[in-house]
Amino acid sequence: MSKDQDLWAAIVAADQKLARVRAEFYQHAEARHEVLVAALQGSNWDRGAALAFLEVLSDDVPELLEQLVEHAMSPRWALAARRAIAAGRHEEVAPALRQIIDRLLPTADPEEYRRLAELLRHLGDREGLRMLLDGASRRDDPDIREVVDDFSS
């Protein structure tokens, strides 16, 4: 086996081990929710691992939605948070997400409107996106109204 093949085999073995450890944590952690809450507030490594975990094993997504939306508003974590949110059960996530967004919009700046629109588009939540854009179209801020133009297509 070549050195490259050995390196690749090590990557595959590490991925297999990660899958086993994730399953072990998912099945046997006594305070899984609390650990995930802390991880989402922790170091970059902790946050990244928590978001990746939730993308694969998403049962905790509805309970962590507030924190996940917060991360979805951050340029650094937006895509990973969107993926984790999208992994959650739509029938639980969509209504809760719309409530969170409704609370955020009155004080949201243009960038926050844009991030929330990106999140809703990523989730394929056309109704939620329509509601966000309707609200944005009534705002006085031209930068917020620009979000309507960018996401109406």
Domain ranges of the chain: 31-151
Q: How confident is the model at residue 72 (pLDDT cuts 50, 70, 90)?
A: very high
Supply 2's token pair. Answer: 């070549």
The whole-number pLDDT of residue 1 equals 64
pLDDT higher than 90, residue 19: yes
Alpha helix locations (H) across the chain?
A: 3-28, 32-40, 44-56, 65-72, 78-87, 90-104, 110-123, 126-137, 142-151
Rounded to whole angstroms, how far apart are CA atoms 80 and 140? 32
54-60 average pLDDT score: 97
pLDDT digits (tens, 9 = 90+) for 115-153: 999 999 999 999 999 999 999 999 999 999 999 999 986
